[in-house]
Amino acid sequence: MKVADGIEMLEVEMKMMGGKRINNPTLIYDDKHLVLVDVGMPGQIEAIKAAVEKAGFQFSNIDTVIFTHQDIDHIGGIQDLLDAVGKPVEIYAHVDEKPYIEGDKEPVKMNRQQVAQMVEKMSEEMRKEAEAIYLNRPTAKVTKTLTDDEVIPIAGGIQVIHTPGHTPGHICLYHQATGTLVTGDETVAENGKLTGPNPVYTPDMGLALASLKKLTTHDVAKAICYHGGLIDDQVNEQLRELTI
């Protein structure tokens, strides 16, 4: 779905543990670059490729990937993507997220101990599936680290907003020309309403709420939530309400 000039929200059905759901990676583009923000779960690149093509783009033109954060539903498809594109791709992530994405640190969620706990009560089949996903996390070399407030010179300028809490190096991306905010998991869309980060998956809610406040200093016309999709109705007001 075209959200604004230079921004396309993808709708990709992904198998997650115990079911399927629609996730929303975003394409940001200009005449020189095609950027994919977040790449989904491992082993599901065909679905993303189909969504990119449906939006009218050639998958092999992707030259940059930006990760909003380290969670496996956002970075898991990176190796599949690199294989499918078949040429070097720039990978951007916040500096605090780099060691997790590169595999030098255990992920902040679903580390080995937590996975062991999770699979304890599962059936054999589910356990195998869970371990295959979480104990073989793809890693990737981050080619450029991002810092708060930095403006990426693509599509007229994409401002990086560091929004820690859900993970230490979580970022939102603000497309200055159109007031479009790619929120990652800092917000979730539910029934047309914006909600804050899911407490179940957010280790530091206090920090995540402080990060939400940061978002209110921007004029946001549209918000793309990785989980739940587009919110384009009174977004500034909705963001403000979440911080009260």
Binding site for Zn ion (CB under 5 A): 71, 73, 185
**Smallest separation, CB 10 to Zn ion (Å):** 14
Residue 230 in 3-state DSSP?
strand
- Compute the distance between CA of residue 200 and CA of residue 73 in angstroms, rounded to an integer: 15
By C-beta, is 21 or 128 nearer to Zn ion?
Answer: 21
By C-beta, is 73 or 186 nearer to Zn ion?
Answer: 73
Cβ proximity of 78 and 100 under 8 Å: no
By C-beta, is 155 or 183 nearer to Zn ion?
Answer: 183
By C-beta, is 63 or 190 nearer to Zn ion?
Answer: 190
**Smallest separation, CB 223 to Zn ion (Å):** 15
DSSP string for residues in 100-152? HHTTSS--SSS-HHHHHHHHTTS-HHHHHHHHHHHSS------SEEE-TT-EE
DSSP string for residues in 129-143? HHHHHHSS------S
**Smallest separation, CB 73 to Zn ion (Å):** 4
Cβ proximity of 4 and 156 under 8 Å: no
**Smallest separation, CB 71 to Zn ion (Å):** 5
